[in-house]
Amino acid sequence: MEDHDTGVGAPEVGVSRASPPSGPASPSTGRQQGRPVQPWSGDGQAGDAQHQKGKPRKRRKRRRGRKVFARDDNHAITAPSTPAASPTPASQSPVASPVPLPSTPQARPEQGGYRPPMQELPVFAALDLGTNNCRLLVAVPTRHGQFRVIDAFSRIVRLGEGLTANGRLGQPAMDRAVEALKICGDKLRNRKIRKARLIATEACRTAANGVEFLDRVEREAGLKLEIIDRQTEARLAVSGCGSLVERDTQGVVLFDIGGGSSEIALIDLTGHRSPRLANHIVSWTSLPVGVVSLAERFGGRTVTREIFAAMVEDVAVRLRAFDGRDRLSHVLSSPKFHLLGTSGTVTTLAGVHLDLERYDRRRVDGLWMDRDSVDRMVEKLVGWDFQQRVANPCIGADRADLVLAGCAILEAIRAVWPSERLRVADRGLREGILSELMADDGVWRNNGRARA
């Protein structure tokens, strides 16, 4: 079951709909082959490149060379936050790799039109094992605040299947996840990774056998994953979407509808805005309900209007218990307030709205939808039966029994924070992890150039 996350073919993240990028990102070269499977937690080390000092004329040549490099960065991803990341508590920090990783080759200084081969740039990776999906993103830094995706993997594994009823991860679900993680492990071991963060979220947080499962992952896939708490998950989602919040925005409610939980962050931008969007979170909550858990409780294949209303009310009750829900009341009526959704639910709605014959991340990520458009799409999906949902190319069999549960969560959120506009983000935790890793490593500190 492959997800419709495109990864390597993804365009520049954060570009407005008025200026879509074009063309796929360049693949990486210089893979290592035949490396044995060993436990890997992803904090490799590599030496800094030695940048030579040249005469003024040579500096001018290098400057022209950077312009050539910048034009090709239309395929790069804009990292959501550029300053060095704030220290992460020890319990949440990536663990140093028990296997020494080979050093990154030193980059030659740019001269004329020279562009450093991608294998000379430090490589970073982010893996997110959620309740529904297993996703990997591998990237190299480019211009200041940007990175280029060089490899990606995404698969629907439904790790949390049956968790609501049993409180434990089921054997078939764990088997699916391990097989996907083996692929991720191979991808990581075949590259010279400087740093990575490999996380697990709600399913492993709540399952009685979550830690036991991660021990199995380490043995069989050679990957050491960390279970992050809900606050960290909310912060990473915000970090991953920072470049979609425009400069004149006054307030945002960012939500990430997951498989087993839904993170919501209230962001107040009425004061002085720092480059790091996560610094402006004034309130947040993590609802212990997602598309998988809600669909398992109410049913996902046959959803009548009465069942849909009951799902909405179930989420609404949880939101009414959220004490910080009114922290943006002073900007709710402003045209500079909007919702920002990052999840399969909102990307699916956007794909149906655009009537896409095949899901296209370049058209979905960053898309604005007005209130009436969202209303129409939710109404359309509620009116479809299961086979109609399966037949839609942006839903398909993998999501047909989950999409209405996601719409119910979305409707409950919209009722609490009504907005004329919703921005769609096909990005999230992995992009947030990458931006924080790169900023913390200082790869953008050398006058805006990616530092090898």
3-state secondary structure 255-292: EEECCCCEEEEEEECCCCCCCCHHHHEEEEEEECCCHH
* pLDDT value of residue 124: 97
- Whole-structure pTM value: 0.74
To 10 degrees, what angle do helices 344-353 and 403-416 make?
Answer: 100
Residue 450 contacts residue 142 (beta carbons within 8 Å): yes
pLDDT at 91 over 60: no
- Give the pLDDT band (50/70/90) at residue 116: low
* Residue 272's pLDDT band (cuts 50, 70, 90): confident
Side-chain half-sphere CA neighbours of 31 within 13 A: 13
Whole-angstrom CA distances from 130 to 173, 206, 404, 450 are: 12, 12, 19, 31
Task: Flag whether pLDDT at 394 surpasses 90.
Answer: yes
- What are the tens digits of pLDDT across the range 284-321? 999 999 999 999 999 999 999 999 999 999 999 999 99
Separation between Cα atoms, residue 362 and residue 189, nearest integer Å: 29
Q: What is the pLDDT of residues 45-63, one digit of tens each?
A: 333 333 334 444 444 444 4
Lowest mean pLDDT segment, chosen from 59-63, 197-201, 212-216: 59-63
